[in-house]
Structures are given as C-alpha cells and as structure tokens.
Amino acid sequence: MFCTIANTHRGRNLVPPSVSFFGIVGRTLSQGEITLASAGPFDRPLIDPRYLSDPEDLERHIESVQWNHEVASDPIFRDLGSEIVGPGQDRNAIITNTRKLASTTWHQTSTCRMGVDERAVVGPDLRVHGIDGLRVIDASIFPTITSGNTNAPTMMVAEKGADLALGRTASDRDHTA
C-alpha cells in the first residue's frame, strides 16, 4: 500500500493539495504474452499484458482497493473536507473501474528468463541458448518479477553482464576500483 501527498511545494502548483492511497499487486500470478507481429526486425511486437487475468491477482487488487477506501474513510480525512474518488467498496464497481484504468508501473520483466531448464532463454552466463555471441543483460532475464522496484536488481544484472563480457571475476573488479 502507498500513500502519496501532493502539495504546492516550492511554488509548484501542479495539482491541488491532496492525499492519495493506492496499492499494487506486487508478485502477480498473471502472465502476459509477447509475440512477433511479423518477421520484420523493425516491426513492433504484439504485447498482451493480461492484467489481472489470474483470479488471485484480481482478488488481491479488490482487497487493496477496499482497504484503501476504508483508510480514506477515516473521520480525520473527512474533517479536512476531503472527498473520496474512485469506485468505493462495491466489488463489481472496482472490477469495472480497474478494467477501464489498469496500467503498469513500467517494471516489465521476465520475458526471456534465465535458467538451466529447457524453457529458459538464457543461461547463468547470460548467453542466449543456441545463439553464439548473444547475451541478454537486462530485467527480462529475471525468472520472476521482484517485489520492489526493478532498478537495483537490473543494475546488478548489468554489472554481472559487464564482468562476464569482459572476462572479469568479482575479485578482479574489486581490485580495479
């Protein structure tokens, strides 16, 4: 769950002062799909995120919205003249509103996961199975999405990938700093 506060700090009046409560289903069970639109290398792939397609993800999301509504309904906020915006507590209204507005937090991962089984796209050395000279060094190799922001783990993958590409070990890097 998150709580954000918007105000007119430093003369910026971008939004009216407000408090927002929201939640994110962190370790989703829903899985999207990426397919090729054509054989052309410059054609964008077809992406179907399949948001909340797993019933458990939808239930967790509904619970999050209902809990946030309960917190926002506390008299302390009402006494400040606040207004609750959103679908309220009604399950069907939450689902309808969510299907209309669902988005991503731009932390897509796990599209060509690392592993040692036959379904893995890259191995522990970050090399693509079956293609010489090609490594994948980004968040797409994560076997599953992290619970938090993907920035730090992606930087760790990049450090490891740089070491592998340059033939360095971790101790080599420690001594060059």
Give me the residues paired with residue 2 across strands: 22
Candidate list 9, 61, 69, 107, residue with the active-site label: 107
Burial of 49: CB neighbours in 10 Å, binned 0-12, 13-18, 19+:
middle
Asked if residue 24 lies in contact with residue 98, where contact means CB atoms within 8 angstroms, the answer is no
Q: For each successive 10 residues of the chain (177 residues), what is the average pLDDT?
A: 64 65 84 93 93 94 91 81 80 92 82 93 96 96 88 95 89 64
Q: Check residue 66 and give its pLDDT.
A: 93
- Which residue is it, tokens 């999405």? 145
Residue 2 to residues 51, 64, 116, 131: CA-CA distances in angstroms?
Answer: 20, 10, 37, 43
> What is the residue extent of each domain of the chain?
2-101, 106-177
Q: Is 34 helix (H, G, I), strand (E, B) or coil?
A: strand
Active site residue 107: yes
